[in-house]
């Protein structure tokens, strides 16, 4: 398939089953690390971190907390606040790239914990773009008639995989989870205007995480990587984002026959406040339309975007009804743009 054929294929695939976004919740660990706390771990200070990242504090897991406990907590919050019967959930998709163990999946653990008996459940790995990827998976399953109600979530405990001696990376990340229900829209309004996904495998070394492994004793030995923490090529990531994400946003708008002036709010991935400010300028959107909370949570991987939505809805800063532009990028490299309706 040529890229020029993609829109035609998407239109052929899309059926007339509209999707409703119902509720949005987030959950973070209780333990908060301020920049002054970080200065006790690595050679840094509050001014250095704020000037370069815009981050003032972040939440990290402690004790037996992990991506599963965070995911279960946010799923239970969502069910309680929406009144959804867990037994009516057909599928659970968890965007997870920092689980405690590769399997069983976070989604399966959540399915058991909330009593969503019979629901299919799986994790999706697209790093920080994961929630938007998961939304598209849910949308496709509802559009096609395969499922009527899907729990879409993101849950990561990235702090477990950081090099806590590397100040360039350990100050950036926080842990958390977020979730929403996507279901058949009974009133005919489609809350998903458009989602555009891309990936660039040639940039795979920009952000990576190696895991220990070994070959069969009778096979040729495999040398384990020396670094088993998250590794980032910060300058390469910045260049990638500044070139790629404005293009992704333009495609997302064009496919929906919209312009940036039709957007009420813009919520980008919360990787770095300086990056958010630069993107705001590049796509020519009014700064007052841009929502962020990176100063209090850091980069929560796939949880970042839905966390902003949930928090700003609760505070009233994000008013409804509204048309919201979302964007994200992550290891892979993956990238995504979405336009949704919130009501």
Which residues fall within 8 angstroms of residue 324, CB to CB, at 6 or more apart? Answer: 263, 264, 265, 266, 267, 309, 318, 339, 340, 341, 342
Q: Which of 35, 108, 128, 143 is catalytic?
A: 128
Q: Among 138, 180, 182, which residue's Cα sits nearest to residue 155? A: 180
Q: Which residues pair with 24 in a beta bridge?
A: 180
Tens-place pLDDT, residues 169-215: 999 999 999 999 999 999 999 999 999 999 999 999 999 988 888 88
Tell me which of 269, 272, 292, 293 is the catalytic residue. 269
Residue 6: per-residue pLDDT: 53
* Gap between the Cα atoms of 263 and 20, Å rounded: 19
Q: For residues 121 and 108, give the distance between their C-alpha atoms in angstroms, rounded to a whole number.
A: 5
Cα-only R_g, the chain: 20
Which candidate in 194, 272, 293, 299 is catalytic? Answer: 299
Instruction: Decide if 128 is catalytic.
Output: yes
Return per-residue pLDDT of the chain as tens, 343 residues.
455 555 543 554 456 799 999 999 999 999 999 999 999 999 999 999 999 999 999 999 999 999 999 999 999 999 999 999 999 999 999 999 989 888 999 999 999 999 999 999 999 999 999 999 999 999 999 999 999 999 999 999 999 999 999 999 999 999 999 999 999 999 999 999 999 999 999 999 999 988 888 889 899 988 877 788 999 888 999 999 999 999 999 999 999 999 999 999 999 999 999 999 999 999 999 999 999 999 999 999 999 999 999 999 999 999 999 999 999 999 999 999 999 999 9
108 labelled catalytic: no
Strands (E), the chain: 19-27, 32-34, 57-59, 91-95, 120-124, 149-156, 176-184, 192-199, 207-208, 231-232, 265-268, 322-330, 334-342
Res 228: pLDDT: 83
Can 59 be counted among the known catalytic residues? no
Which residues have C-beta within 8 Å of that of residue 289, sequence separation ≥ 6? 263, 264, 265, 266
Domains, the chain, in order of start with CATH, read 3-184 (3.40.47.10), 192-342 (3.40.47.10)
Write down the pTM of the prediction.
0.94
Q: What are the residues whose beta carbons fall under 8 Å from the beta carbon of 127, sequence distance 6 or more?
A: 97, 207, 301, 302, 330, 331, 332, 334
* Predicted local confidence at residue 121, as pLDDT: 98
Determine the Cα–Cα distance for residues 11 and 266; give it in Å rounded to an integer: 25
Sorted by sequence, the CB contacts under 8 Å of residue 226 that are 6+ apart come out as none
pLDDT of residue 12: 44
- pLDDT score, position 247: 97
Closest by alpha carbon to 338, among 197, 187, 159? 197
Report helix, strand and coil shares of the chain as percent, to nearest 5. Answer: 40, 25, 35
Q: What are phi and psi for residue 204, nearest 5 degrees?
A: -60, -25
pLDDT at residue 9, rounded to an integer: 39
In angstroms, the CA 205 to CA 195 distance is 26
What is the C-alpha to C-alpha distance for residues 13 and 247, in angstroms, rounded to an integer?
24
């Amino acid at each position: 398939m040529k890229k020029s054929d993609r829109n035609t294929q998407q239109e052929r695939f899309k059926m007339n089953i509209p999707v409703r976004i119902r509720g949005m919740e987030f959950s973070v660990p209780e333990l908060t690390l301020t920049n002054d706390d970080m200065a006790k771990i690595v050679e840094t200070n509050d001014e250095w971190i704020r000037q370069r990242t815009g981050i003032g504090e972040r939440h990290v897991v402690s004790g037996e907390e992990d991506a599963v406990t965070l995911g279960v907590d946010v799923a239970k919050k969502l069910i309680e606040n929406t009144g959804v019967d867990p037994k009516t959930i057909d599928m659970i998709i968890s965007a997870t790239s920092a689980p405690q163990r590769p399997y069983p999946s976070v989604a399966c653990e959540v399915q058991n914990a909330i009593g969503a008996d019979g629901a299919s459940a799986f994790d999706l790995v697209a790093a920080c773009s994961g929630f938007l990827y998961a939304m598209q998976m849910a949308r496709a399953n509802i559009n096609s008639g395969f499922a009527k109600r899907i729990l879409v979530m993101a849950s990561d405990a990235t702090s477990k995989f950081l090099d806590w001696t590397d100040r360039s990376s350990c100050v950036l990340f926080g842990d958390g989870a977020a979730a929403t229900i996507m279901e058949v829209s009974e009133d005919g309004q489609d809350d998903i205007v458009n989602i555009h996904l891309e990936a660039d495998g040639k940039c795979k070394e920009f952000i990576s995480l190696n895991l220990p492994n070994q070959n069969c004793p009778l096979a040729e030995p495999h040398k384990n990587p020396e670094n088993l923490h998250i590794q980032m090529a910060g300058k390469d990531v910045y260049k990638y984002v500044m070139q790629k994400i404005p293009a992704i946003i333009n495609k997302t708008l064009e496919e929906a026959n919209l312009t940036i002036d039709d957007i009420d709010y813009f919520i980008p991935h919360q990787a770095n406040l300086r990056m958010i400010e630069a993107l705001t300028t590049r796509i020519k959107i009014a700064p007052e339309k841009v929502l962020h909370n990176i100063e209090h949570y850091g980069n929560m991987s796939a949880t970042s975007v839905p966390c902003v939505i949930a928090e700003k809805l609760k505070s009233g800063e994000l008013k409804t009804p509204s048309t919201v532009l979302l964007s994200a990028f992550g290891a892979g490299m993956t990238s995504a743009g979405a336009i949704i309706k919130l009501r």
